[in-house]
Structures are given as structure tokens and as C-alpha cells.
A = this chain, B = another copy of it.
């Protein structure tokens, strides 16, 4: 098993395209997306805009630890402008034979 980093981003779905582009640019070419995430957060005056607005998405990407700093740099401006959260966790990867070496 190999040490990797787990990046998880929760954001409004209209940011999805931009976020994925940012991931791609910083070298992360694999990810998964869960849609239809409901959420609530504290930012003054803004509330969750259920059905009438676009929903949140939940993006998970596992990557080698070296990429983290460039990812954070690429993601942070998007979060600053449009909101959303990004968290990073340590994880162990069960490598399968078909895996492309990063």
C-alpha cells in the first residue's frame, strides 16, 4: 500500500467545470464526483438555494502527496470567489496492477 492524499471539495455545481480544470492543470487526472449534495453553511446572508438553484457537488480525488501544494494554489482562488470547501486527508492506496504510474 502507498501513501496518498485524499482531496475532497464541496462546492456549488456550477463551479464543477472550473474545479475539474484546476485539478487537471495541477496534474490530477482522476477524480470522482457525487452530485445532489445538500448543504448549509454559515456565511452571512447566503443560504442554501435548494431546487431553484444549482445543487452542490462533492469531488473526491486521490493523488500523490507531491501534488498537494500545486492543487491548493489552483483551488484556493476559486473558493475565494465562489465559495465552497476543500479538505485534505491522508490515505493508503491499494494499488492494482492496471494502475498508471504517476
- Give the interface of A toward B (CB within 8 A): 1, 4, 6, 10, 20, 29-44, 56, 58, 60, 62, 72, 75-76, 79-80, 83-94, 96-100
Docked CA distance A62–B60 (Å): 15
What are the residues of chain B within 8 A of A94 when measuring CB–CB?
Answer: 72, 75-76, 79, 85-88
Q: Is the CB of B43 within 8 A of A39?
A: no
- Main SS at interface, chain A: strand
Q: With A32-B10, A100-B44 in contact, is A88–B91 under 8 Å at CB?
A: yes
Q: Is the CB of B31 within 8 A of A34?
A: no
Q: Is the CB of A32 within 8 A of B58?
A: yes
Q: Is the CB of A4 within 8 A of B56?
A: no
